[in-house]
Amino acid sequence: MPGDSEDPNADVQYHLEVGPGDVAETVLLPGNPERVETVLECWDDGEVRAHHREYRTATGTYDGTPVSVTSTGIGSPSAAIAVEELARVGVETCIRVGSCGAIQPEMSVGDLVITTGAVRQEGTSDEYVREEYPASADHEVVSALIAAAERLDYEYHTGITMSADSFYAGQGRPGFDGFSAAGSDQLVDDLREANVANIEMEASAILTLANIYGLRAGAVCTVYANRETGEFRTEGETRAVETASMAAHLLARMDEVKREAGVERWHADLSL
């Protein structure tokens, strides 16, 4: 039947079930569908536009700026589907909003980590481009996230994120019945020595696809655990949400300033 088409060029997307006009140009990407409600609580207004499988999408405004949110579920495969289908309906900026494990000792539970680039230890982005291709965050998004964290007076760190496909073996944790994957006992130490800041499961695929498609993308995560100190608490969830929402507003203002100045990219000679 025509309604069951899997055509990627269809107006209504196959997995997200959104079409043109359902989403703003900037979309926040949490993993957990339940976090969409947390996002909406931080905005001026908003309403759910679609909900299919792990993908829940809502659109509203933050400080007068149109913004959307789409949950991606756990991991890079489903996050890549979200980026693909959002791009097809006109999204230009994607900001991952989530939680992470920190691996540097100075990072505390509740701090934010703003990703500048990512180690591609997930397999999804390998399906798109050679492994040497960098998963880099857009500098405008990074700047907006930093500015937002500063204005909100939240403790934050910037740095390299590692994105894994596995929560257990792929992040150096023991599997069922004490199973230990080859090299897992050294994984976190090796990443720490390379000055990697944190570990999560979606950022590198989102950043890689965004670069391939000419989109802006970044990521901000709240630290839930520090793998160096052993500290673990699920607190500070709204800090990443508030920071990303304000960043979306600041990016809209940055775009206005760029248009007025007649330039294409944000740089140090421009100010908000």
Q: Which residues are catalytic?
A: 15, 85, 173, 227
- Residue 44, φ and ψ in degrees, nearest 5: -65, -45
Tell me how far apart the alpha carbons of residues 196 and 117 are, in angstroms, rounded to a whole number: 10
Tell me how far apart the alpha carbons of residues 102 and 249 are, in angstroms, rounded to a whole number: 27
Tell me how far apart the alpha carbons of residues 242 and 259 are, in angstroms, rounded to a whole number: 26
Report whether 58 contacts 46 (CB < 8 A): yes
Tell me how far apart the alpha carbons of residues 103 and 228 are, in angstroms, rounded to a whole number: 6
Would strands 112-121 and 216-226 be described as parallel, antiparallel, or unpaired?
antiparallel
Report whether 158 contacts 233 (CB < 8 A): no
Residue 40 CB contacts under 8 Å (≥ 6 apart), including other chains = 46, 58, 60, 69
Coil vs helix vs strand at 31: coil
